[in-house]
Amino acid sequence: MGAKIWKWWPVFLLLILTPVAYIFNPDMVITPYLRSCGYGNFFIFLVSGSFGTLEMIVWFVGWGGLVGLTAGWFKEDINFAKKIAGEIKKDGHIDSIKIYFTKKYEKYNERACKLAKGFKVGSYFGFFWVGFWPIPGPRVLGDFICGTTKNKKFLFALCAGNLVKTACLIYAWNKLFSFFGH
């Protein structure tokens, strides 16, 4: 039983990472907290930048694992696609969970494929720009594309953009704190 559950590691990883990524968001939680505690910019950059980069690497690993997991489901069960389409009845709760995650994955994959076409125009610069974008949504989709395609070079560009964005946001938080006299 334990080995069967271990096969689901990407699902568990992504389920755990999702709330952790928002609770300990480097840009909106960690950076202002460390700034309010009086830490210097370099230390804040090291902590926030490291946490943000680690988070993106874990997303990359999780999405890549989910790709392998769903591919395995199709290999295990030839009728799995028919079950997803509703043509064949599901075999219990495990099938229902597999179908749920596969449908979610397909929804994100469809969005990511549309964005991937745009990113390919700019290649590395496109992924750098997505990493630099100051809201979390585009970075998650960029991570999804990198994890799905297992493209580590684009992940590097995404992480580099994220680090530059982190440095800019530390500067912005400093301006905000100095404006309010802290």
In the chain, domain spans: 2-179
Structure tokens at 44: 């804040």
* CA–CA distance, 66 with 77 (Å, rounded to integer): 17
Q: What is the per-residue pLDDT for 90?
A: 62
For residue 140, what is the enclosing H or E element?
Answer: helix 136-149
* φ/ψ of residue 170, rounded to 5: -65, -45
Structure tokens at 31: 């950076």
Confidence of residue 163 (pLDDT cuts 50, 70, 90): very high
Q: How far is CA 163 from CA 93, 158, 171, in A?
A: 42, 9, 13
Q: Tokens 């950076």 identify what position?
A: 31
14-67 pLDDT, tens per residue?
889 888 988 998 988 999 899 889 899 999 999 999 999 999 999 999 888 887
